[in-house]
Structure 1
């Protein structure tokens, strides 16, 4: 995400292989109805640190294993490290990419080790948010030009004499520090430390009616429970964020996409075709993510629950 797991979620995603790969090229085809484990082999998927991405990995991994007989390995990495993995061969696919035009130029255009695999179907929105009680109590706070008038409300022991702007995981690639400086706002950036802590902070702020302003995004399951209010910044226009030190515009809206290792895609592996075909909605992702983080389901169980209810959707993804 531009860049969006709890240890328990990450642990759940390390999915065991359901079938091994054949040891020779002369492997016997499996009986009808059983997955062909000789064709897919091992698929290495990057896991970036936000629950929506974990939901992607859970469903894709479950179906690759159960329908195509693949062995799926997952690696917990930052966004930048995931792209480097495409280069060194340790990663075959990134399931949710938030922009990163600089990395596309490096690894796709120049080094030619990665390729685009199409859209995920998810719409990504990044921005600044306040809990709904604040927007109701202070209606003009949703105009960013008024934020300095409210800076004192957001002071904390961590922000000193400035208002606190709460960020999430330090590995998320964001523009917030530059935006605060370039829009001349009397705030300082404080990291929650993880997506989970960011979510907890917003839930607590709404429940206790305490002031909070911070970074957030959709798709995200929390927004179905707490209707955070987006504060629009100066309109995004193409190129307005090209110089990260001078950026003074809102985040780009994203049609999220998938990135694959070129050698993996060119190999004809059926898993690559499946991932190219895979598309779902923000609502699909939020449902699985909430089951994994709030409803006590393992990654495999959450994926199976979704797959059982949406067979007509995922059957179209099969090679």
Structure 2
């Protein structure tokens, strides 16, 4: 994944000077909000918009760092991070840090609806209409063979730290596939674009919200339908991923002492389309996260004005 760390306050104030927008006054005792950035562009987009509003509208300094999800959760306890801006389920981590240790809590939904699944390029569905049925995947396994998968078909996954059941699904559904980790969201996107352009077979892990869906057509495989509890035992999962209502996670100390910054985080709520617009500007239009956030904020005051604490 490309680097998406947010700029420090000084750089943001330079952008302010160029835009003519008056920054919020910063008190002598500088207020700091620590936001971790995880390894996908939609997350970085949301972090950038929150940082922009915290700095420009409320006068906070925002410090960011790129971290793995589980490491961020652990640092909620130590005070090294205040906010995880987008959480995909993570029931195990919620149980540990929210219910048992009581060092974190959910700050409400982001407004995004998350979908994880298996996808193929649209051209494959047109050529092989039954390929979207998981029960036919073994028939098509030879199409997906690569040097990395050997005699099995290749299933291309992302970062192994992402929310994933893919290896378990392959095993429990009796599929002749090998899970190969691409290592990042950027690698998945590159593979999807090349498979679409060059009409190369590709079976991959992917998710929405994701700006790429506005650029190319991918079709979701119909895995055995999700039912409540079908993924309760990780080793026995044989069903599709659940729908996710994404939420924000904060440290308990930030919730108790974060003041207006916490209120803004709690009030934040937007749509998949909003997130994809910012992420798309970052990747396809080569804007920095700060520039993409500034553009979105300038064009969407009706969306964010009610997030700002009175």
State if a TM-score over 0.5 links the two structures: yes
Query: How far did 1:85 drift?
Result: 1.2
How many residues end up aligned between the 2 structures? 299
Task: Tell me the residue number matched to 2:15.
Answer: none
Counterpart mapping for 1:284-299 below 5 A: 284-299=274-289
CA contact (8 A) 1:98 1:254 kept: yes
Structure 2 CA distance for aligned equivalents of residues 215 and 127 of structure 1: 6
Structure 2 counterpart SS, 1:295: coil
Unaligned runs of 5+ residues in structure 1 are 20-31
CA contact (8 A) 2:9 2:62 kept: yes
One of 149, 160, 169 as aligned partner of 1:159: 149
Task: Tell me the residue number matched to 1:310.
Answer: 300
Counterpart mapping for 1:1-319 below 5 A: 5-7=1-3, 10=4, 13-18=5-10, 34-37=24-27, 41-319=31-309
Q: CA RMSD in A?
A: 1.5
For residues 193-243 of structure 1, the C-alpha deviation after alignment (integer angstroms, 9 at most, x for no partner) is: 211011000110011111000100000000011121001211111121121
Query: How far did 1:99 drift?
Result: 0.3
Query: How far did 1:139 drift?
Result: 0.5
Structure 1 CA distance for aligned equivalents of residues 262 and 301 of structure 2: 20
Unaligned runs of 5+ residues in structure 2 are 12-21
CA contact (8 A) 2:119 2:204 kept: yes
Task: Tell me the residue number matched to 2:14.
Answer: none
Query: How far did 1:173 drift?
Result: 2.8
Structure 1 CA distance for aligned equivalents of residues 94 and 258 of structure 2: 22
Q: Detail structure 1 runs of 4+ shifted over 2 Å in the superposition.
A: 32-40
